Amino acid sequence: AGGTNVPERHPEHRERRDAFVKLNRAFDNRSSVRLSYRLYNDDWGIVSHELSSKLSQYITQGMFVRYQYRYYTQTPARFYRDEYLTTNGVDGYLSGDYRMGPLSAHMFGLSLNFDLGTMASSMPVFGRTALVIGYDRYFNSNNYSADILETGLDFRF
């Protein structure tokens, strides 16, 4: 800002609002789809949209695959700039946080879910347990990308 380094200054208060719609549907072929949309805005001027989908399909009695996709986009905060001409910023506020700027992002994912109770029916300890293995690919308009690997145990009670 103004050719020097200064600390960020954000407004002390922030009013946030969001609305969402979700649709879940199961089909006779042992598959299901989940669709959702979320609209967000705040008094800093950020407006975002998020659209996501998940498709799940059983492969065998105790195993299903899930495919997912998410798209996210947002407008910048009123006071966000790539570069500030003075140390006063915009109305006294400055931000170097890319999350306050314009952004669009995509995430594609795939996961395998194993019901251990079905696969190991002779071992009751696994009766309410599932193993999840997943991979997600994330990338955004700020030239950031990530490969996300996930493993987990799900205990139902």
Q: Per-residue confidence of the chain (157 residues) as pLDDT tens digits?
A: 767 777 888 899 999 999 999 999 999 999 999 999 999 999 999 999 999 999 999 999 889 999 999 999 999 999 999 888 888 888 889 988 888 999 999 999 999 999 887 766 677 677 778 899 999 999 999 899 999 999 999 887 7
Sign for the pseudo-dihedral over CA of 114, 119, 121, 123: negative
Beta strands in the chain (DSSP E): 16-27, 31-42, 47-60, 63-74, 103-115, 129-140, 145-155
Q: In 19-125, where does DSSP find H-type helix?
A: 116-119
The greatest distance separating any two alpha carbons of the chain, rounded to the nearest whole angstrom, comes to 71
The answer to whether the beta carbons of residues 150 and 133 sit under 8 Å apart is: yes
Side chain identity, residue 38: R
Q: What is the DSSP string of 50-69?
A: EEEEEEEEEEETTEEEEEEE
pLDDT at 116: 83
